[in-house]
């Protein structure tokens, strides 16, 4: 009986491990697929640690097609973002705990100021728990609008 129970537990574990989309390359680890309402999928780097969130897209010269960055805050609050040391325009999309879009900043420009305190904040006027960054212009191109729900 114990062997049978052990076999059932192992089989269940194997099936559970095989569920969901898996990373196929080293750069895909610590990512999650975000699916837009139109079915388009983006593989997004997941940021959960404060130091990673603070760095975000700093010092990067591009964002590959079909890629993004997903910030997962512990709780819903007002989260203004800025573009200090970010080199490319980004669409910044704030979502509530249900993954519903509550605010967007489209084609948010990089901050060319040499001093962080001179860079403006964007968004953070609606309570959000998740923030998605996509290449500038992606949100309107994909038809995203306030109230849309993303899947991740």
Tell me which of 112 and 152 has the higher pLDDT.
152
3-state class percentages of the chain: helix first, strand second, coil last, to nearest 5: 20, 35, 40
| Calpha distance 98→86 (Å, rounded) | 28
Burial of 126 per CB tally in 10 Å (0-12, 13-18, 19+): middle
pLDDT at 10: 37
Which tens digit of pLDDT belongs to each residue from 18-76? Answer: 444 554 555 566 999 999 999 999 999 999 999 999 999 999 999 999 999 999 999 99
């Amino acid at each position: 009986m114990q062997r049978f129970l052990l076999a059932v537990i192992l089989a269940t574990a194997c099936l559970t491990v095989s569920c969901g989309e898996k990373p196929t390359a080293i750069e895909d680890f610590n990512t999650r697929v975000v699916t837009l309402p139109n079915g388009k999928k983006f593989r997004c780097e997941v940021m959960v640690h404060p130091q990673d969130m603070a760095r975000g897209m700093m010092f990067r010269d591009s964002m590959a097609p079909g890629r993004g960055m997903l910030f997962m805050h512990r709780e819903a609050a007002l989260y203004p973002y800025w573009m200090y040391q970010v080199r490319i325009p980004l669409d910044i999309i704030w979502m509530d705990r249900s993954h519903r879009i509550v605010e967007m900043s489209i084609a948010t420009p990089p901050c060319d100021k040499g001093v962080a305190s001179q860079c403006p904040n964007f968004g953070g006027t609606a309570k959000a728990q998740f923030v998605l960054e996509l290449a500038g212009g992606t949100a309107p191109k994909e038809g995203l609008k306030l109230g849309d729900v993303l899947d991740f």
